[in-house]
Chain A
Amino acid sequence: MNSLSKWLFAVLFLTIINLLAQEQVQDSIVKIQAATFFELHAMQPIYYGENFISEGYDVSNAVQIGVTYQGFLKHLSLHFNIGLYSGRVERPEIVGFFESSQFTRVSAGVGYPFKITDKLSLTPSLHYGYVKLGHKLREGEFSVLENEIADDGSFIALEGRAHYALVEWLEISLGVTNYVDRLRIEVPDSREQFFNRSNAIAPFLGVRFRINSW
């Protein structure tokens, strides 16, 4: 099964689960209130599969900040996120001659939130974004090469998250995001797959603040 089929299957599966869940808890569902949230998450990306990041990096914790608008087309939520983390290159012979890299993800997404109770809500969402790996060269004693080099590309991400309201304006977030990256690194054909596709799953924990609601 290729990755596109996997994605379609996953989206379909989550949609069905949502609809069923919504059906079952319909009586208790409180109508989603339109609101805007500011979010702050700590996450740990875990790369998997055969790619240069999973096999050559030690990836740090990530910080993700975002804004969510809930109530788009009545039932949907819109997400704008920026994620930042770094990775130490453990095997430069398979990654490139770098010391470390700074990962930056910028994405927009759409979700389908539904409220289980007054305090608990679940939101599956789908995101599309831009990812950049800014590299720091391994500098030798006499090196004068300019230290600005980057790889970049796009990604899609599937996310599931739960929010629990502590008070009216503050919620705890817990979730997991699966990233599928398509980088555009020019390499010989024999290593194209290894460099241009990477996958990461990132569990996260954080808070979100209700900015306003209506």
Chain B
Amino acid sequence: MRQRIHKYISVAWVVLLASCGTSLEDNKRNIYNVEVRDVNDTALENIEINVAIFRGMTNVGTEFPLRSFLGFVGADVTDNQGQASVLSLSLGPDNTRSLPYVVINGDEQVSGFFMDNTTFLNPEYGSIAYEVRRTEGNEVFLPAVTLKRRATLQLEINKADVTNDTLIYTLDYEKDVQLFQLGTEQQDVLEQIQGNVQTAGEVVQTQVRTLQNTLAMFTYILRNNGDSTPISIEIPITQENQVYEFSF
């Protein structure tokens, strides 16, 4: 219930922010230098990079980002070295609540409220966005970006008819859309789902969007009469469609 209220407030906030215009600065351009490689350190060519303006609170990593998309101000593609110098327009000095985002292989949804609806311009790879502070100046060098291939992880939990245990579980995994703040230490952007299985003979199936060459973490507690220690299992994501089955 609380989450739902939070969600409605977030949507109202986004609509309110989006209804106000934002000006761009005359006589000014910025450049964002980007280098994109895959996990084998091979340069990725023709990866689209967009510079978008979002307005709203900075809350990278939270469940409900209170940001609204205002528009694109720059676009380019990587060359055969995997590099691009993206020319961008600049925000006006009075727009203190708006920030530019460098979006690699994603569209306007990537940093906003409807992040899960992101269109991947190259559907084989995930998307990464960097929020750029105004203090960065008019030429910005982003850290080397490693794009990982997308994958789906299907988790299947089977409860045997004979057990009375209740399974409480969480699944932590890397999303295929990741958001970082430039200048802060990069961290894996983990997403978490949780649930429980208590009915005898029940089969729970869930599917999440993640990235290859990452680790998902399945953590569970089997609860009968008392608490028990959580147990974690690493699930390496090594293929496009990864299936993990757990029975108890």
In the bound complex, residues from chain B placing their C-beta under 8 Å from that of A146 are 21-24
Which B residues from 18 to 49 make CB contacts under 8 A with A? 18-31
Q: Quick check: B21 and A152 within 8 Å, CB to CB?
A: no
- For B101, the chain A residues whose CB sits under 8 A away are none
Quick check: B28 and A140 within 8 Å, CB to CB?
Answer: no
Residues of chain B within 8 A of A92, CB atoms compared: 75
Known contacts A144-B18, A145-B21, A149-B89; A186 and B69 CB within 8 A of each other: no
Choice from A143, A150, A152, A185 contacting B29 with Cβ under 8 Å:
A185
Closest chain B CB from A199 CB (angstroms): 19
Q: Given the complex, which residues of B lie within 8 Å of A149, measured CB to CB?
A: 23-26, 89
B156 contacts partner chain A, Cβ-Cβ < 8 Å: no
Could you tell me the distance between the alpha carbons of A155 and B24 in the complex, rounded to whole angstroms? 24
Interface positions, chain B 84-102, Cβ under 8 Å from A, are 86-89
Task: Flag if B23 contacts A143 (CB, 8 Å).
Answer: no
Q: Does B82 contact A (CB under 8 A)?
A: no
B70 within 8 A of A: yes
Pick the residue among B24, B28, B72, B73 that contacts A186 (CB under 8 A).
Answer: B28
- Please, which residues of chain A bring their CB within 8 A of the CB of B73? 97, 137, 145
Q: When chains A and B are docked, how far (Å) is the Cα of A169 from the Cα of B35?
A: 65
- Given A144-B18, A148-B23, decide whether A137 and B71 contact each other with a Cβ distance below 8 A: yes
- Chain A positions within 8 Å of B69 at CB level: 142
Q: Is the interface of B mostly helix, strand, loop or mixed?
A: strand
Give per-residue flags for A138-167: 1 if the beta carbon is below 8 A from chain B beta carbons, else 0.
Answer: 111011111011111000000000000000
* CB < 8 Å neighbour of A188 from B25, B74, B139: B139
CB–CB B24/A145 < 8 A? yes
The residue in chain B whose Cβ has the minimal distance to the Cβ of A93 is B76
Which A residues are CB-close (under 8 A) to B87?
Answer: 93-97, 191
- Tell me whether B28 and A185 are in contact (CB under 8 A): yes
Assembled-state Cα–Cα distance A187/B87 (Å) = 9
Known: A139-B71, A186-B28. A144 touches B88 (CB 8 A): no
Considering residues B20, B71, B139, which has the most beta carbons from chain A within 10 angstroms of its beta carbon?
A: B71
Interface residue B207 (Cβ < 8 Å from any Cβ of A) = no
Residues on the B chain within 8 Å of A138, using CB: 72
Q: Please determine whether A144 and B22 come into contact, CB atoms closer than 8 angstroms.
A: yes
Bound CA–CA A152/B25 (angstroms): 12
Q: How far is the CB of B77 from chain A (nearest CB, A)?
A: 8
Judge whether B53 is part of the interface by a CB distance below 8 angstroms. yes
Report the separation of the CA atoms of residues A94 and B75 in the bound assembly, to the nearest whole angstrom: 10
State how many angstroms separate the Cβ of B67 from the closest Cβ of chain A: 13
Contact A96 to B27, CB < 8 A, known contacts A142-B108, A144-B18: no
User: Contacts of B88 on A, CB cut-off 8 Å?
Assistant: 97
- Complex partner residue of B27 from A97, A137, A142, A152, CB under 8 angstroms: A152
Structural contact, B26 and A144, CB atoms closer than 8 A: no
Residues of chain A contacted by B72 (CB below 8 angstroms): 97, 138, 140, 143
Q: For the complex, is A195 an interface residue (Cβ under 8 Å from B)?
A: yes
Decide yes or no whether B138 CB sits under 8 A from chain A. yes
- Within A60-107, the residues touching B (CB, 8 Å) are 92-97
The contact sample of 8 A-B pairs, CB cut-off 8 A, is A93-B76, A93-B87, A96-B87, A97-B73, A144-B18, A144-B21, A144-B22, A184-B27
Interface residues of A (CB under 8 A from B): 92-97, 137-140, 142-146, 148-152, 183-188, 190-191, 195
**B contact set with A: CB distance below 8 Å:** 18-31, 51, 53, 69-76, 86-89, 108, 138-139
